[in-house]
């Protein structure tokens, strides 16, 4: 990820109240570290909305197709 885009994403997360994740995004070096942060972000979002986004992630991982 380009450093400018990485900083922009980190700033957006920090503005949304996710200070720690913003710091992790900003400090990540390389694609593998960014992937680890991305997985944590997805897990956090899924945990906050288990019936909505969380269920969508489960459906995708199970190969369920939907129009939503």
Locate the domains of the chain by residue range.
3-61
Which residue do the tokens 């997805």 mark?
42
CA dihedral 48, 45, 15, 39 (to 10 degrees): 150
* Whole-structure pTM value: 0.59
| Element (DSSP H or E) covering residue 64 | none
pLDDT confidence band for 11 (50 / 70 / 90): very high
Burial of 38 (0-12, 13-18, 19+ CB in 10 A): middle
pLDDT digits (tens, 9 = 90+) for 12-33: 989 988 899 889 889 988 888 8
């Amino acid at each position: 990820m380009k450093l400018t885009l990485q900083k922009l994403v980190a700033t957006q997360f920090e503005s949304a109240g996710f200070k720690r994740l913003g710091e992790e995004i900003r400090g990540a070096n390389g694609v593998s570290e960014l992937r680890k942060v991305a997985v944590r972000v997805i897990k956090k979002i899924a945990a906050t909305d288990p019936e909505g986004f969380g269920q969508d992630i489960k459906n995708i991982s199970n190969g369920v197709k939907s129009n939503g």
